[in-house]
Structure 1
Amino acid sequence: MELPHKDSPNLHLVVATQEELLQQQNDNSGEWKGALSLEAYLRREEVLLQLDLTKDGGLTPWMLVHQPPNAVRTVLCGCESLKKKALVAKDGKVRDVVAHGVASVFCPPKYRGKGYAGVMMSKVAQRLQKWQVGDGNAEFSILFSDIGKEFYTARGWQPFPSCHVSLPAKAELGEGLATSKVESGDYEELCADDQQLLRKRLQAMSSSGRTAVALLPDVTTLHWHQAREDFVARELHSGNANVMAGGRGAMVKMDDGFRAWCYWTRVWTNPQEEAPNTLHILRVVVEGEGHYDFGPASEDGLKKVQNTSAVKAVSALFQAAQLAAHQAGMNEVQIWNPTSTTLAAVKLLDANSATVEREKESITSLLWYGEGSWEDVDWVCNEKYGWC
C-alpha cells in the first residue's frame, strides 16, 4: 500500500472502534506493558476501562485514519484522552473546570517518519478544546512526554517544570514522628479535606494576578492509580503478602495538631530494562496555614523551612514510604517537582540527594485554552497523581 502524504485531505481524526483500540493496544504493548505479559497487559487495559475515571466516555480513544471516499479506513496512529476535573484560580476566584489528559500516543513502526503523529496531535489539540464540555471550553490539557520537549511544544503543549528527587528503599524506620498507614478506605475523607485546603490556597495565591491551575486530587484519580498497581501486584506477586503491607500511603500528626499525609503507588518495571522498580509519591498534603509552599524548591525557600514541623512531618512520611518500598521489592522512592518543604524533608533523610531535571521522559506539558497566555499560568501541585 502506498502511504498517503501527511497533508492528504483523506486523513481524519476519529474516535476508535473497540476493534481498532484493541489493535492499538496490541501494537503499543512493547512500549507500555512493563513487567506484564501481552495477555496480562490487554486484560489490565480492559479492567482500567471499567473504572469511574474511564467508563461512560471518561476515556476517549483517538485514531488518525486514512479514509478515501468509499474506501475502508486504515489506522495510522493513535492516542487516548481522559476527562479530568480541575481548578482554575484568578484574581482570588476559584472555578471548577474540565481539563483533559492525553496519553498512550503511539505510531506503529511501519508508519513512522511520515509526519502522521504530528498531524494527529495537532488535530487532537484543537478537538479537545471543545470536547465533552457542552457549550463551553476546556481550560487546558496536559500530557507527559517521553520523547523530550520539542515534538509536543510544536503542537501547543508547553513544557513545565519536570524534576524529581529520590530516596533509597530501606528495611527499617529511622528516628522521627510516628506515622499511621493510609488505606484506600481513607481516600474519600482525605481527598475531601485536601480539596478544601487546595481551594483556599489557590484563592490566596491567585490574588497576585497570575493564573493558578491544578488537577483535582480526587478519589476517582487515586482509584485509577490503585487499580493499575493492584493488577500488577496480583499478576507478579500474588503469593507475597509483604508486597502491599506498607499500605497506600502514610499520615502523621504534627506537634501543633495539624496533620500531614501522602499517597503512593508502586511501579514494577520490565526486568529486561535498567529502570528501577519505584514507589512513587502521588501527592503530599500538609494542613495548617503557612505550613506548606506551592512553588518549586529554591535555596531561599529551603532556608525558610529548615527545622519546621512541616519538614519533620513530611520526612516521617517519606521514611514510611522507604519502608513500604523495601517491603514491595522496590529500589527507590521518587517525589516529583519537590517544593522547598518536600526537598528539605528529603535532605533531612539523605543530605546528598540531588534534584534530577528530566529532559527526555515524563516531561510535564500543558496546553492552555483559557484567557491570556500560558506564560502567566502556574501549574500547582504538579505531582505524580496527575500522570496518565
Structure 2
Amino acid sequence: MSEITNSTPTKTPASKPVRGTAPYALSDLILLPTTVPEIIQKTWTNNMEEWAKGVPEDKYHARERHLAATAFSSEGRLITWVLVPKPGTDVTESYREAVGEGGVRGSFVENDGSKDNLERILGALETYERPGLVARTEDDGEEGVKDVSTMSVASVYVPSKYRHHGYGHLMMKLLWEEMESRKIAFTFLYSDLGPDFYGDFGWTARTCTQILIPTTMTLPTPPTARTRGSVKSITLEPVATDIQLQDLIEQDALLVRKDLEARLATAKTNNDKKAKTIVAVTPEIRSIQWLHARSFFNASVIFSQNHSPLLIQTDLKYGVRVPGSKTQFVLWHHDFTDDNLFILRWRLDPSSSSPEEDTDAIALAFAQAAKDEAKKWGLSKVVFWNGDEALAHLLGLKVETRKDSIPSLGLLNSVYPGHQPEELEWVLNQKYSWC
C-alpha cells in the first residue's frame, strides 16, 4: 500500500514487497488510538522507509515532535492510530510454520513500549479534528450553514513487510467506523494512490488541478495598464505577525460562511429541488501556523546549510496583503522538501478595491510577490491548488491536472444519512486544508 503523507512526496523507490504468509488474521486486528511516546515514535520510524528522503532519524523524529507541539496538534486534535492484534491473540499457524522461530509473535499491549511489542504495529495513521462548515439545500426541512467537526487523515502507512495482506484496507474501514461513532460530519484526505482506492471506504476523489508559476517566468502587465496609464501602482505589505494573521483568518472564515449562505440563497431562488450538500474546511490560524512551523523547522534544521539563521528568523513570513486590508491577501507555505512555494489562501475581493485600483493588477502583484518569495528561498516554482481559471488566463498559463495528493472527501452517514456522493460539493478545496 502506498500512502498519504504529511508532505507531498516525490516518488522514491519503494521497498520490495513481502508477499509471504500473513502473520495475523484480519478478524484478530483492531484500530487503537495511542498516546504512548514509544509507540508514536515507532510509527515515525516505520514510515521513514518511504518519506524520510535521506533525513536522519533523529531529525525526522525531531520534526514530528516539533509539529506535535503546535496548537493545531494539541488538546486531542491530533490522534495517532495503530492497527494491532487484539489482546489474547497470536499469529496464525501458517505464519508460524512459514517463518519458524523468527518473525513477530503475540498480541499487542497498549502501554508497552518494548521492542517486541512495537513490532506488532501492522499499520498506522493520523487524524486531525478540524472545524468545518456544511450547507444543505434540504436538511430535514432546515436550510442553513452549520458549524461541524471534521477529520483530515494523514500519514497512512503499512510497513513493507506487512503489505499485501489486506491490512491497509482493514485500517481504513475501521477508521471510517470510528469516525461514524464520533459523529464526525465529513472527512477528507490527500491520496497518492490514485482517484479510486479510498472510494472503497467512503472517500471520493474531487477536483484536482493546479497552476504552476515558474520563478523564471516574466509576468504580464495588467490588461488595463496597456490601454490607460491611470492604474494605481500596487504596493504590498508582509503578513509577518500572528496578530496580522489572526485578523485575516477570522475575516476569511466569515466570508467563507457568507459564500455558502449565498449559494443556498441562489439554490432557493432557482427553485432547486434536488438535495445538495456543500462543505468547506473552515480557515483557522492553527493550521496555517502548523504549516509555517514545518517550514521553519525544515529551513533551520534539515536544510540549514542553504539558509542563514538570521534570514530564517526575520524573513520567513506568512504572506503579503494589500496594506491594511483584511480581504485582499495571499498566504503561502515554503515546501523546502519538494521545492515548491504553495499558495495556501488567495483572497482577492474586487468590492474592497478603490476605484483607481485594478483587480488584475492586484492579482499580478500577488503572483509576483509569490514568485519573488520562492526565488528568494531557492524554490523553483509557485504551486496553487485548484486556483481560479481566470488567474491562469491572466498569467497565460494552463490549469493542470494533478496525479498525486488527490483530494478525497466523504460525508458520514451517522450525521447525514442517505446522502449521495455526486451531490456533495467541496468548496475551497485548496492547500490550506492539507496536513
Residue 425 (structure 2) pairs with residue 378 (structure 1): yes
Residue 124 (structure 2) pairs with residue 78 (structure 1): yes
**Structure 1, 209-218 or 232-241: larger mean CA deviation:** 232-241
Structure 2 counterpart of 1:204, from 252, 262, 269: 262
Residue 239 (structure 2) pairs with residue 182 (structure 1): yes
Residue 398 (structure 2) pairs with residue 354 (structure 1): yes
Aligned counterparts of 1:385 and 1:120: Cα–Cα separation in 2: 26
1:258 Cα deviation (Å)? 8.4
Partner of 1:301: none
Partner of 1:99: 150
Aligned counterparts of 1:36 and 1:347: Cα–Cα separation in 2: 39
Aligned counterparts of 1:110 and 1:35: Cα–Cα separation in 2: 20
Whether the aligned pair in 1 keeps the contact of 2:260 and 2:278 (CA below 8 Å) is yes
Bigger strand fraction:
1
1:72 Cα deviation (Å)? 2.9
**Which TM-score applies when normalising by structure 1?**
0.83
- Residues 116-151 of structure 1 show CA distances to partners (whole Å, capped at 9, x for unaligned) of 0000001101111233xxxxx211000000111222
Partner of 1:54: 73
Partner of 1:345: 391
Residue 348 (structure 2) pairs with residue 313 (structure 1): no
Taking only the aligned residue pairs, the percentage that are identical comes to 28
Structure 2 counterpart of 1:263, from 319, 328, 331: 331
Aligned counterparts of 1:47 and 1:180: Cα–Cα separation in 2: 29
1:288/1:106 Cα in 2 relative to 1: closer, same or farther (>3 Å)?
Answer: same
Whichever of the two has the greater Rg, that structure is: 2
Partner of 1:134: none
Aligned counterparts of 1:72 and 1:6: Cα–Cα separation in 2: 12
1:173/1:163 Cα in 2 relative to 1: closer, same or farther (>3 Å)?
Answer: closer
Q: How does 1:1-388 map to 2 (within 5 A)?
A: 3-4=22-23, 6-7=25-26, 9-16=27-34, 17-34=36-53, 36-67=55-86, 69=88, 71-73=106-108, 74-91=120-137, 93-131=144-182, 137-170=183-216, 177-185=234-242, 186-207=244-265, 208=267, 210-235=276-301, 236-237=303-304, 238-239=307-308, 241-242=310-311, 245=315, 247-252=317-322, 259-269=327-337, 276-288=338-350, 309-339=358-388, 343-349=389-395, 351=396, 353-359=397-403, 361-369=404-412, 370-371=415-416, 372-388=419-435
Residue identity in the other structure for 2:360: V
1:333/1:10 Cα in 2 relative to 1: closer, same or farther (>3 Å)?
Answer: same
1:29 Cα deviation (Å)? 1.7
1:346 Cα deviation (Å)? 3.6
Whether the aligned pair in 2 keeps the contact of 1:128 and 1:138 (CA below 8 Å) is yes
Aligned counterparts of 2:121 and 2:237: Cα–Cα separation in 1: 50
1:290 Cα deviation (Å)? 10
- Where 1:102 maps in the other structure, the secondary structure is strand
Whether the aligned pair in 2 keeps the contact of 1:100 and 1:141 (CA below 8 Å) is yes
Whether the aligned pair in 2 keeps the contact of 1:86 and 1:215 (CA below 8 Å) is yes
Whether the aligned pair in 2 keeps the contact of 1:35 and 1:268 (CA below 8 Å) is no
- Residues 208-236 of structure 1 show CA distances to partners (whole Å, capped at 9, x for unaligned) of 15322111111111111111111111112
Aligned counterparts of 2:374 and 2:316: Cα–Cα separation in 1: 8
Q: How many residues align?
A: 352
Whether the aligned pair in 1 keeps the contact of 2:371 and 2:382 (CA below 8 Å) is yes
Partner of 1:273: none
> Gapped runs of 5+ residues in structure 1?
132-136, 270-275, 292-307
1:221/1:110 Cα in 2 relative to 1: closer, same or farther (>3 Å)?
Answer: same
1:171/1:327 Cα in 2 relative to 1: closer, same or farther (>3 Å)?
Answer: farther
- Residues 80-111 of structure 1 show CA distances to partners (whole Å, capped at 9, x for unaligned) of 10001111112351111000000000010100
1:245 Cα deviation (Å)? 3.2
1:130/1:310 Cα in 2 relative to 1: closer, same or farther (>3 Å)?
Answer: farther
1:289/1:122 Cα in 2 relative to 1: closer, same or farther (>3 Å)?
Answer: farther
1:362 Cα deviation (Å)? 0.4
1:187/1:115 Cα in 2 relative to 1: closer, same or farther (>3 Å)?
Answer: same
> Gapped runs of 5+ residues in structure 2?
1-19, 90-105, 109-119, 138-142, 222-232, 268-274
Residue identity in the other structure for 2:426: W
1:246 Cα deviation (Å)? 6.3
Aligned counterparts of 2:54 and 2:308: Cα–Cα separation in 1: 17
